Amino acid sequence: MSGAVRFLYEKVLRRTSTFAFAVVVSAVFFERAVDMGCDAIFDNINKGRRTSPRSGGGATPYRTPPTSKRPPTDRDKGVEARLESGQ
């Protein structure tokens, strides 16, 4: 056996308690790595959109404000403004 395999067997795999602890610790690190990888892929695919709760837009897509300098219309104000004006 090589040195690394012998060390792994003698220190971790020989006792059930250390083996179970190693399984739990590796599962936590593996889950975190997969989560970070999936988030990176999702953010890369949805670049320029605010769909993540981390981005401040909530879980629903965020409509970006208009880029022109025109005054806001009722459509821009939303449903509440239209209900208040009686339309």
76: tokens are 């821009």
Instruction: Express each pLDDT in 33-42 by its tens digit.
Output: 999 999 889 8
CATH superfamily of 1-48: Cytochrome b-c1 complex subunit 9 (1.20.5.260)
DSSP secondary structure string, 17-47? Answer: HHHHHHHHHHHHHHHHHHHHHHHHHHHHHTT
Percentage above 90 pLDDT, the chain? 31
Going from N- to C-terminal start, the domains of the chain cover 1-48
pLDDT at 48: 73
* Average pLDDT, rounded, for the chain: 76
